[in-house]
Amino acid sequence: MADEFVDFYEALKLPLEADRTEVRKRINEVYVDAQRNLDHRNFQTRVKHQEMFEVVLPRARYILLDEGRRDEYDRLVRAFRAASAPAPQVTPPPKPPQEKSFGSGDASGFRLAEVEEPAGKAPTVEALPDTQLDPAQMAVQRDEMWAKWKQGLESAIPHEEDAPKPVKPSPIRASSPIVSTQTAPSPASAQVQENTEPQRRPRPQAAPISFNFENGSNAPSPDDDEDTIKAKKAELERQKVERKRVVMLEILDGISLKGTIIGALGAAIPLGTLLIFLMGRYYPREGGPQLPLPSTAAWVLGLIIVVGAAVVAAIQLSKTMRNQAALQLSMLPLEELLRKVGRTY
C-alpha cells in the first residue's frame, strides 16, 4: 500500500466537501468498528479491519484533520480521479442505406427509380468540447505529485509506537503478518523529518469530581479523540468507586452503632441480673448473701466484670456485623446503595 495511491474519502465513504467535524466523527466511528472486528472469525474480514485500523485510519487522521495537508491532498485526489475516469466513447453516425439499381444489361430491360431522400438535415455528431486535461499528461503529473507527497509522508507520519494499539492482539499476526508501511527515510528527507516532526499533544488533565456521571463535563463526546475518551471513562469509573466507598462507610457506621448497642445490652442485662441475685440480702428465708464477701468489694468487683463483659461483647458483635455487611454491600451496584440511604445521583 506504500507504493499505491489511497483515496481516504472513498475508504471513509465521505464526500470531498465534508467539513472537519464530520471527518473527525466518521474516523472515530470507523475506528470503533475496525477495533470491534480485529478478531473476526472470517480471515479476509479480519485482515481488512486490521489494515484499516493500523494503516489507513492513522494516515487519514494525520492528513484530513490538518487544513494545509488536506488542501494539498484534495488537489491530488481530484487529479487522480480525473486521470482514472474513462474517456467518453463517440458512436459513429449510422450509414445511409445503399440504393440498388439494375444496369442496362439486365435481362428485364428496365431500371428501378432512385429512392429520393426526404428533405431535411442529415444526422450530425457534435464535436466534444475542447479540454485542457490530457489523460496521459495528467497521469504523469499524478505520479510526480504522488512521489513528492509520499516522500513527505514518510518523514512526517508518526512512528508505529505512537499509533493506537488494539485492546486484544489478534492471533493471526504470527501466521500472516501485514506488510509494514513504514520505509526507511532517504538521506534527502532526513533534514525534512527534523523540521516536520509532529508535536505531541499533552494528555488531558483530570477534571474535578462530579457525581453527575452521565450528563456532566466528563461524559465522552463523539468529537473527542481516542485518548480523551479513555481518560474521561477512567475518570468516571474512579468517581463511581469513590462515591460507592463514601456511601458504604455511611451505611457501615450505622450498622456498627447498632451492633455496639445490641452487644452491650445483651451482655449487661444477664450479668447484672446475676449480680443482683448473688449479692441480694432480702430473701424469703431472711438469709445472708450468697457470697461471703464484704458487700462493697463484692459490688465493685461485680460491676467491673459486668462492664468489661459488655464492652467486649459490644466490640465483637459490632466488628462481626460490620464485616458481614461490608461483604454484602460490596456486591451491590452504586444505584442500589444510594436507594438504601434514600439518595440519587
Give the tens place of pLDDT for each residue, 1-41.
545 778 888 888 889 888 889 999 999 999 898 888 888 88
**Which residue range forms the structural domain that includes residue 266?**
226-340
Cα 136 from Cα 74, distance rounded (Å): 20
pLDDT in tens, 110-144: 455 555 555 555 555 555 555 556 677 777 887 88
Residue given cell 494499539 in the structure block: 165
Contacts of 224 (CB under 8 A, 6+ apart): 232
Q: Do 252 and 161 reside in the same domain of the chain?
A: no
Q: Is residue 104 in some structural domain? A: no
Q: Do 66 and 175 reside in the same domain of the chain?
A: yes
Q: Do 145 and 8 reside in the same domain of the chain?
A: yes
> b/e for 41-72, b at 16 or more Cβ within 10 A?
eeeeebeebbbbbbbbbbbbbebbeeeebbee
Residue given cell 495528467 in the structure block: 138
Domain boundary among 122, 156, 183: 183
Higher pLDDT, residue 205 or 325: 325
- 10 Å CB burial of residue 123 (0-12, 13-18, 19+) is exposed
pLDDT in tens, 90-113: 565 565 555 444 444 444 444 555
Cα 239 from Cα 251, distance rounded (Å): 19
Q: Do 26 and 166 reside in the same domain of the chain?
A: yes
> Which DSSP helix (H) or strand (E) runs through 139?
helix 135-156
Q: What is the pLDDT of residue 174?
A: 42
Contacts of 96 (CB under 8 A, 6+ apart): 117
Mean pLDDT of 249-267: 85
Domain boundary among 183, 216, 244: 183
Is residue 157's pLDDT more than 80? no
Q: Spell out the SS3 assignment of 146-201.
A: HHHHHHHHHHHCCCHHHCCCCCCCCCCCCCCCCCCCCCCCCHHHHHHHHHCCCCCC
Q: Is residue 113 in some structural domain? A: no
Q: Is residue 95 in some structural domain? A: no
Q: Do 178 and 231 reside in the same domain of the chain?
A: no
Number of domains in the chain: 2
Q: Do 8 and 144 reside in the same domain of the chain?
A: yes
Cα 321 from Cα 110, distance rounded (Å): 130
Inter-helix orientation angle 226-279/295-329, to 10°? 160
Q: What is the pLDDT of residue 282?
A: 45
Q: Is residue 209 in some structural domain? A: no
For residue 210, name the pLDDT band (cuts at 50, 70, 90): very low
Q: Do 16 and 141 reside in the same domain of the chain?
A: yes
Cα 98 from Cα 92, distance rounded (Å): 17
Residue given cell 485500523 in the structure block: 53
Cβ pair 65, 8 in contact under 8 A: no
Q: Is residue 241 in some structural domain? A: yes
Contacts of 251 (CB under 8 A, 6+ apart): 325, 329, 337, 340, 341
Q: Do 168 and 306 reside in the same domain of the chain?
A: no
Q: Do 151 and 241 reside in the same domain of the chain?
A: no
For residue 326, name the pLDDT band (cuts at 50, 70, 90): confident
Q: Do 139 and 34 reside in the same domain of the chain?
A: yes
* Residue 342 zone, left/alpha/beta (φ > 0; ψ -120 to 50; rest): left
pLDDT in tens, 211-247: 444 444 555 555 567 778 888 888 888 887 887 788 8
Contacts of 127 (CB under 8 A, 6+ apart): none
Q: Is residue 200 in some structural domain? A: no
Higher pLDDT, residue 190 or 229: 229
Higher pLDDT, residue 303 or 128: 303
Is residue 329's pLDDT more than 70? yes
Q: Do 26 and 161 reside in the same domain of the chain?
A: yes
Q: Do 253 and 176 reside in the same domain of the chain?
A: no
pLDDT in tens, 55-96: 888 888 898 888 889 899 888 888 888 887 665 565 655 655
Q: What is the pLDDT of residue 25?
A: 92
Q: Is residue 230 in some structural domain? A: yes
Please, what is the average pLDDT of the chain?
71
Residue 86: name the closest of 146, 135, 37, 125 by CA. Answer: 135
Q: Is residue 219 in some structural domain? A: no
Q: What pTM did the predictor assign?
A: 0.29
Domain boundary among 148, 166, 183: 183
